[in-house]
Structure 1
């Protein structure tokens, strides 16, 4: 039975938007640093959430605290590391999201002492949820299929299969969202739950 409160859904929505926006921006930024200008030309080097947030990834984040971004085309031939470029981009992005999940919690003492009391509890809950969503999103994004970051491993090893899945991004996202809704309560008891907690989630 679907038993999430409105407050839980709201904090998860805000946290997911922040995490996915940072994730998409990081993919584009690290790709650019490694020599691939494509994501920047595609308008992905921005912190505009409308560019990065996949609507189904957002819905999954609201329910299961894990989401994914809209596809960012990283060209193995365009980077300095060749076929390893997308894999390194994914690893650096994961590191950035992990670091964000740890650093954002440093704001909690400031919220407790300086934030207006009328909204301090909500702000505190949202910040904690950002760390949660960061950990859960990282845990699921190791799966080596797009739209997850792990899909860049598939791009390096089997570009044809990767492109086939990317062309069917909508259908893959719908299936993943349905799975998230059906399993969100049992997911913490799986390997992904253990990994998410290791990565900072509750």
Structure 2
């Protein structure tokens, strides 16, 4: 049985928002650097990859994910290979940015030991776990995840069907996380990344 306090939920909520904002911004920056642009069907050029169901996963299990922006077909250099590179570079940079957050802790701690500074430090601490899970789950080749673009790069004929796959895909990812399959299959990768990030 889960035993989460309101404080735990607030910290996880803050950590998810931080990680999703970083991932969304980096997804757009890398996309533009590669000459691409977001498709209007995929939500346009918004920077957020916020996903309500992914947030719930982060709150309950610390295993959240985000919605992927959809690049316009053929808009980036490298074509289908470029799409795969975009996904991998975005998630690698997201992990690197989450790793770099640890260097903010001393600055935040210098403001004292009040509840706000303690909360901010807790958010940074939890963002490591949530960020790693966010990257690993988002790498899965399933729309609406960022890794769904890898599937579309391999099978471009699926693009029209993928547009209507948001809710079924989200339900499958939620089941994958909620039933413990994510932890069972991805825990070794998560532990390796976590050890590297906390070293």
Q: Report the TM range for the smaller structure's normalisation.
A: 0.7 to 0.9
How far is 1:187 from its partner? 5.0
When residues 142 and 70 of structure 1 are mapped into structure 2, their CA distance, relative to the original with a 3 A threshold, is: closer
Q: Does 1:68 align with 2:65?
A: yes
Length, aligned pairs only: 195
**Alignment correspondent of 2:155:** 158
**Residue 96 of structure 1 corresponds to which residue in structure 2?**
93
Write the distance in 1 (CA, Å) between the matches of 2:120 and 2:143.
Answer: 32
* 1:32 match: 32
Contact 1:76 1:86 in 2 (8 A): no
Deviates more, 1:167-176 or 1:8-17: 167-176
TM-score under structure 2 normalisation? 0.84
C-alpha distance in structure 2 between counterparts of 1:53 and 1:42, whole Å? 11
Kept after mapping to 1: 8 A contact 2:44/2:69: no
CA RMSD of aligned residues (A): 2.5
Match of 2:20 in 1: 20
Query: Unmatched 5+ residue regions in structure 2?
Result: none
2:179 and 2:2 mapped to 1: Cα distance?
A: 9
> How many Å apart are 1:98 and its aligned residue?
0.8
- Residue 145 of structure 2 corresponds to 148
In structure 1, the gaps of 5 or more residues are none
**Residues 139 and 199 in structure 1, CA contact (< 8 A), matched pair in contact too:** no
1:78 aligned counterpart, secondary structure: coil
Which residue does 1:192 correspond to in 2?
186
Alpha-carbon distance change, 179 to 91 in structure 1, aligned in 2, over 3 angstroms: closer
* C-alpha contact (below 8 Å) 2:66/2:138 kept by paired residues: no
**Pick aligned residue for 2:74 from 73, 77, 94:** 77
Instruction: From the superposition, tell whether residues 160 and 8 of structure 1 become closer, same or farther in structure 2 (CA, over 3 Å).
Output: farther
Structure-2 separation of matches of 1:116 and 1:175: 42
Measure the CA separation in 1 of the matches of 2:91 and 2:99. Answer: 13
Distance 1:119 1:38, change over 3 A: closer
Provide the C-alpha distance between the structure 1 equivalents of 2:150 and 2:25, rounded to a whole number of angstroms.
Answer: 19
The equivalent of 2:45 in structure 1 is: 44
TM-aligned CA distance change 1:152 to 1:187, over 3 Å: closer
